[in-house]
Amino acid sequence: MTGESAKEIAANLTRAEQSVEAARELAEKGYHDFAASRAYYAAFYAATALLLNEDVELSKHSAVIASIHQGFVKTGRLSKEHGKNLNWLFELRSVGDYGGPAHVSCNDAEQAIQAAESFLSAVRILIA
């Protein structure tokens, strides 16, 4: 891994941590749609860091999610629960960002934050 790769991985992990913090603050203020979106982005940044750690560089959300399933969930390096949560966070983000009259519930926002934190913790272990 090059020094540039290490910097990019670290930057993505920092973004993931900041996104979790932002999601918590947004949820506390009742902005559940936006909290769910930030929770998803926390997982997305963590997933991107994990793939970069394996020298895989992708930018499309669907490609990142598919690669996480292929390289980590199917191989047992990440749990099936983490894979399901990543998919759910992606779907929930769509409701929060593009749902029109549909909105993310307080409970779903809280679960999204927990799922993102758990995913980030699992990724940190794999990168360490």
What CATH code is carried by the domain that includes residue 71?
1.20.120.330
Q: What is the DSSP letter of 54?
A: T
Helix, strand, coil share of the chain (percent; to 5): 80, 0, 20
Give the residue ranges of the chain where pLDDT is below 50.
Answer: none
pTM over the 0.75 mark = yes
* Per-residue pLDDT, 4: 84
pLDDT digits (tens, 9 = 90+) for 70-101: 999 999 999 999 999 999 999 999 999 998 89
* Per-residue pLDDT, 59: 87
Structure tokens at 124: 């940190």
The C-alpha R_g of the chain, in whole angstroms, comes to 14
Q: How many distinct structural domains can be found in the chain?
A: 1
* Per-residue pLDDT, 1: 61
- Domain span at residue 74 reads 3-127
* Per-residue pLDDT, 24: 98
- Residue 59: C-alpha distances to residues 43, 99, 100 (Å): 14, 23, 26
